[in-house]
């Protein structure tokens, strides 16, 4: 048995530094805490594992959890055969398990994206050899050996299987116009597929995974080409496994194109060792292999949820906290049951092979139990792995107990192999709320391992069998209780058993969230009044999301936000800053108050001064205030957001890299070559007669991604077809494949675009797609050069054409892109550019209140 301390790592570190811990804690507690320290170890993306494929690494990673342990599979290098497997107890330290599919299995050569599910005692692998259809293999162990069970079932690459709560399985795979999805009649049969609405990345889309949380179906998917720096992951949600799906508003959830960390994609999702936090596994691209195919590395980052909105706390490629472990867990890796369990009513219990606990007394009709000595919090998640060896009669039962106070107050989730049912009940002070008997899938094999999961949140108990939600019960047990396992007239084995004082996503509340990155306002630290927050009301006025005094309501933009926020209140967030330097904070807020002021602290030091934020016009009118260049130190710290004056609601804190360097840069192209200031280029640009020319698609950019407010201009020749112009506040520019520019590549950036065409001037926003923000119809002459200027000041963008006094477009973006580089872009156009210039002036005075 292992019990993990719930003291936050930042506080634990302070206590150890001051030698307070050793002086003040009893020896027994000290031993527990010292054992807990590995839970606060660190990991760094990308990961390097033993025995990776040489010059190919780990691509298309997939992680399966079975009996508390994680198993990792990845694509096989095209010139090799066999499928490799690794295992881990904590998602941090991995051991190589060897080939789970032997190299002698013909269809394993170049086995793309193998994924494994566990169903009723068997492990099923789905893989596409070098993209040539799909085969299904099976094994009795997650480490194999897997053997081929089907012929070629067709379907494109990247097959993935999702099992719904009713046991119905679904198969998804890659497609040219979106993810393909099909119902399955069983684990060895795939139906006819159709494109899932809402899952296209405007071209080839692959690497899908479906999972379900709180009744919402999530699908993650990747596009468009593995060799693109702009390979990225989006998500969408639906009310049914095959859709239709609605794309997430904050896509992409994984993207990074510049520097050494790029080409992020082909993800899978798994619940972490704390039983609560979801993690996303994905690869990054190192570049083309010198042997064959792409060379890739493994990455794992936590995910968070706010309502049905999903975000990744990443992507990260700097040191992060290791995934948290459960508060209590037992692998039974010893020879005796020991003192961490309390026996109730006797029975014949023992430990087998240092891997499981058993009870085999069927002679006396009595409920036998083993209950933990450790007590869970009032809200928790628990996991129980079990199987039946033999029943003593038709009334035999085995299963789990939870929220155990005594024999008069506890919950139970019992399996009946005779009735093929799950039976749930909760007793409170000796009174049962009633047995709920739920049928399990036909042919359910109780002599194989199955897992019962219990989530307790308030008075609600959600009970799952093998990941399928089977029972939701309500009972008034507010006190902390224990967990345990039980039998009646049955011989049963019990494996990995654990509980975590985390439930429904609370595992991310106090962990150190990465900066740069996005933090939902409602993911403030735990600890209560004066620790995680200071709130002047006596209750959660909105009654949403969390069970403390912070006022939370449903947000018009999805999820929940902190509301009724008033002068003097503050909220604290643990963070992990990538490197020392300047960071912009985009605060998403709404208020009708004409005088609101806010301040940001890092570890108690003021890093922003007092900053005024204007009224948005309504409590439903959301805007973004940018607090520029907050100087933050590298590593783990605490950020505090304080309301200095007024009242406002806020939903998101988005941190981006900043810079104190003033925007500047130019190129008149007279030298016959491009200036060295250009730090991104894509497309067939060249210089002719002192102008930058291009015929087709392309973009170039210069400057610093931390630039916010500036002016950019150029002399732009109006094309006869297509359009061209300026790009600004540009981040994550890329091309579709190997730097090749094409129609898809044209939208491969995050930023703004102001362009001209024969019919007028257009302003739009690009996020690997296109959204028109404003258009000014105006007859322009093909071949004529026009002075095009963009002036950026906060959320306001002014576009000028020749006349530098009166803008042709004056637009204020309610959800502005905060910062980025500037450059030029052509879309299906034959055209030229001259006298490109970036300057720090915006023609407006900025006022900061100190």
What does the pLDDT look like over 324-341, one tens digit per residue?
999 999 999 999 999 999
Residue 245: partners with Cβ closer than 8 Å, 6 or more residues away: 196, 197, 198, 199, 217, 219, 236, 237, 238
pLDDT grade for 744, boundaries at 50, 70 and 90: confident
Residue 4: partners with Cβ closer than 8 Å, 6 or more residues away: 36, 39, 324, 325, 326, 327, 328, 329
SS (H, E, C) 25-54: CCHHHHHHHHHHHHHHCEEECCECCCCCEC
Burial of 134 (0-12, 13-18, 19+ CB in 10 A): buried
Q: How many CB atoms are closer than 10 A to CB 739?
A: 14
What does the pLDDT look like over 463-515, one tens digit per residue?
999 999 999 999 999 889 999 999 999 999 999 999 999 999 999 999 999 99
Mean pLDDT along residues 601-617? 97
Q: What is the dihedral of CA 273, 199, 237, 246, to 10 degrees?
A: 150
- How many angstroms separate the CA atoms of 217 and 244, rounded? 10
pLDDT grade for 371, boundaries at 50, 70 and 90: very high
Tell me: pLDDT of 32 over 60: no
Query: Which helix (H) or strand (E) covers residue 97, if one does?
Result: strand 95-101
pLDDT grade for 269, boundaries at 50, 70 and 90: very high
- How many angstroms separate the CA atoms of 468 and 162, rounded? 11
Three-state DSSP at 363 gives coil
* Amino acid 739: pLDDT: 74
Residue with tokens 């936090």: 277
Mean pLDDT along residues 362-373? 96
Distances (CA, A) of 603 to 389, 399, 573, 579, 849: 56, 47, 10, 16, 22
DSSP letter for each residue of 592-635:
--S-EEEEEEETTEESS--EEE---SSTT--EEEEEEEEEE-SE
pLDDT grade for 1, boundaries at 50, 70 and 90: low
Tell me: pLDDT of 19 over 50: no
- How many angstroms separate the CA atoms of 257 and 259, rounded? 7
Nearest partner of 699 among 715, 681, 719, judged by Cα: 681
Tell me: pLDDT of 302 over 80: yes
Residue with the bigger pLDDT between 33 and 125: it is: 125
- How many angstroms separate the CA atoms of 124 and 135, rounded? 10
- How many angstroms separate the CA atoms of 788 and 785, rounded? 9
* Amino acid 25: pLDDT: 34
Nearest partner of 598 among 634, 632, 630, judged by Cα: 630
* Amino acid 33: pLDDT: 31
Mean pLDDT along residues 537-543? 94
Query: Which helix (H) or strand (E) covers residue 389, if one does?
Result: strand 380-391
Mean pLDDT along residues 532-556? 96
Q: Whole-model pTM?
A: 0.94
Mean pLDDT along residues 32-49? 67
- How many angstroms separate the CA atoms of 786 and 831, rounded? 12
* Amino acid 211: pLDDT: 98
Contact 357, 494 (CB under 8 A): yes
Three-state DSSP at 23 gives helix
What does the pLDDT look like over 155-180, one tens digit per residue?
999 999 999 999 999 999 999 999 99
* Amino acid 40: pLDDT: 55
* Amino acid 396: pLDDT: 98
Tell me: pLDDT of 585 over 80: yes
For 294, phi and psi rounded to 5 degrees? -90, 150
Cis before residue 6, ω within 30 degrees of 0?
no
Residue 521: partners with Cβ closer than 8 Å, 6 or more residues away: 561, 562, 571, 650, 651, 652, 653
SS (H, E, C) 70-96: EEEECCCCCCCCCEEEEEECCCCCCEE
* Amino acid 37: pLDDT: 37
What does the pLDDT look like over 405-429, one tens digit per residue?
999 999 999 999 999 999 999 999 9
Tell me: pLDDT of 22 over 90: no
pLDDT grade for 6, boundaries at 50, 70 and 90: very low
Burial of 413 (0-12, 13-18, 19+ CB in 10 A): buried
Mean pLDDT along residues 795-812? 97
Tell me: pLDDT of 108 over 70: yes
- How many angstroms separate the CA atoms of 462 and 451, rounded? 14
Q: How many CB atoms are closer than 10 A to CB 501?
A: 23
Q: How much of the chain, in percent, has pLDDT values that exceed 90? A: 92
Return the structure tokens found at 229.
Answer: 């720096």
- How many angstroms separate the CA atoms of 397 and 419, rounded? 10
Return the structure tokens found at 365.
Answer: 């009709």
- How many angstroms separate the CA atoms of 166 and 148, rounded? 27
Average pLDDT over the chain, rounded to an integer: 94
The total number of residues shown for the chain amounts to 850
Residue with the bigger pLDDT between 755 and 203: it is: 755
Mean pLDDT along residues 188-192? 97
Three-state DSSP at 206 gives strand
* Amino acid 2: pLDDT: 54
């Amino acid at each position: 048995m292992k019990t993990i301390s719930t003291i936050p790592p930042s506080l634990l570190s302070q206590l150890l530094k001051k030698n307070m811990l050793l002086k003040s804690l009893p020896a027994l507690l000290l031993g527990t805490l010292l054992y807990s320290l590995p839970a606060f170890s660190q990991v760094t993306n990308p990961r390097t594992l033993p025995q990776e494929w040489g010059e190919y690494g780990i691509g298309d990673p997939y992680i399966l959890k079975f009996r508390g342990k994680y198993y990792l599979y990845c694509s096989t290098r095209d010139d090799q055969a066999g499928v490799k497997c690794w295992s881990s107890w904590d998602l941090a330290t991995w051991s190589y398990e060897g080939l789970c599919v032997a190299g002698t299995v013909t269809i394993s050569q170049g086995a793309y994206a193998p994924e494994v599910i566990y169903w009723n005692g068997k492990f099923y692998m789905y893989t596409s050899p070098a993209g040539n259809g799909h085969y299904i293999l099976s094994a009795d162990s997650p480490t194999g050996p897997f053997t081929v069970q089907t012929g070629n079932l067709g379907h494109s690459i990247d097959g993935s299987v999702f099992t719904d709560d009713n046991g119905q399985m679904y198969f998804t795979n890659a497609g040219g116009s979106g993810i393909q999805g099909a119902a399955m009649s069983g684990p060895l049969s795939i139906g006819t597929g159709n494109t899932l609405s809402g899952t296209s990345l405007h071209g080839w889309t692959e690497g899908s995974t479906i999972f379900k949380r709180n009744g919402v179906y999530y699908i993650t998917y990747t596009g468009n080409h593995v060799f693109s720096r702009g390979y990225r992951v989006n998500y969408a949600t639906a009310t049914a496994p095959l859709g239709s799906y609605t794309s997430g508003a904050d896509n992409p959830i994984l993207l990074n194109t510049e520097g050494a960390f790029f080409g992020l994609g082909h993800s899978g999702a798994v619940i972490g060792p704390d039983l609560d936090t979801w993690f996303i596994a994905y690869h990054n691209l190192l570049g083309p292999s010198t042997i064959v195919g792409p060379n890739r590395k493994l990455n794992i980052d936590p995910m968070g949820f706010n309502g049905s909105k999903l975000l990744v706390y990443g992507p990260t490629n700097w040191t992060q906290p290791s995934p948290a472990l459960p508060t209590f867990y037992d692998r039974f890796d010893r020879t005796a049951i020991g003192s961490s369990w309390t026996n109730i009513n006797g029975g014949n219990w023992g430990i087998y092979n240092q891997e499981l606990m058993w009870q085999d007394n069927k002679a006396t009709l009595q409920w036998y139990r083993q209950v933990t000595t450790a007590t869970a919090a009032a809200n928790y998640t628990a996991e129980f792995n079990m199987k039946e060896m033999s029943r003593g009669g038709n009334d035999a039962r085995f299963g789990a107990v939870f929220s155990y106070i005594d024999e008069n107050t506890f919950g139970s989730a019992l399996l009946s192999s005779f009735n093929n049912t799950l039976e749930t009940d909760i007793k409170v002070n000796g009174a049962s709320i009633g047995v709920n008997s739920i049928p399990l899938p036909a042919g359910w094999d109780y002599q194989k391992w199955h897992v019962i999961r219990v989530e307790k949140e308030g008075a609600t108990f959600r009970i799952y069998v093998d990941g399928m939600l089977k029972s939701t019960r309500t009972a008034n047990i507010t006190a902390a209780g224990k967990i345990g396992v039980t039998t009646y007239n049955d011989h049963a084995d019990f494996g990995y058993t654990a509980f975590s004082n985390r439930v429904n996503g609370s595992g991310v509340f106090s962990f150190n969230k990465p900066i740069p990155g996005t933090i939902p306002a409602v993911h403030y630290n735990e600890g209560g009044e004066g620790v995680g927050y200071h709130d002047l009301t006596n209750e959660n006025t909105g009654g949403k999301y969390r069970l403390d005094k912070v006022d939370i309501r449903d947000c018009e933009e999805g999820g929940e936000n902190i509301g009724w926020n008033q002068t003097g209140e503050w909220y604290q967030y643990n963070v992990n800053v990538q490197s020392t330097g300047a960071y912009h904070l985009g605060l998403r807020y709404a208020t009708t108050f004409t005088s609101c002021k806010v301040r940001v602290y890092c570890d108690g030091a003021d890093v922003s001064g007092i900053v005024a934020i204007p009224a948005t016009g309504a409590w439903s009118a959301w805007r973004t205030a940018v607090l520029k260049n907050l100087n933050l130190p590298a590593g783990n710290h605490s950020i505090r957001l304080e309301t200095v004056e007024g009242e406002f609601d806020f939903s998101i804190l988005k941190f981006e890299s900043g810079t104190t360097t003033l925007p500047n840069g130019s190129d008149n192209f007279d030298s016959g070559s491009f200036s060295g200031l250009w730090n991104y280029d894509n497309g067939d640009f060249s210089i002719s007669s002192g102008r930058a020319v291009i015929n087709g698609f392309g973009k170039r950019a210069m400057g610093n991604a931390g630039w916010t407010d500036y002016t950019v201009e150029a002399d732009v020749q109006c094309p006869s077809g297509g359009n061209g112009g300026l790009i600004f506040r540009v981040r994550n520019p890329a091309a579709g494949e190997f730097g090749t520019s094409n129609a898809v590549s044209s939208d491969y950036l995050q930023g703004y675009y102001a362009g001209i065409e024969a019919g007028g001037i257009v302003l739009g926003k690009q996020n690997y797609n296109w959204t028109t923000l404003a258009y000014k119809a105006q007859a322009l002459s093909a071949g004529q050069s026009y002075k095009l200027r963009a002036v950026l000041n906060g959320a306001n963008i002014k576009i000028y054409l020749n006349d530098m006094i009166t803008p042709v477009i004056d637009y204020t973006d309610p959800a502005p892109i905060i910062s980025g580089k500037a450059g030029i872009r052509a879309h299906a156009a034959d055209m030229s550019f001259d006298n490109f210039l970036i300057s720090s002036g915006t023609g407006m005075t900025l006022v900061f209140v100190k």
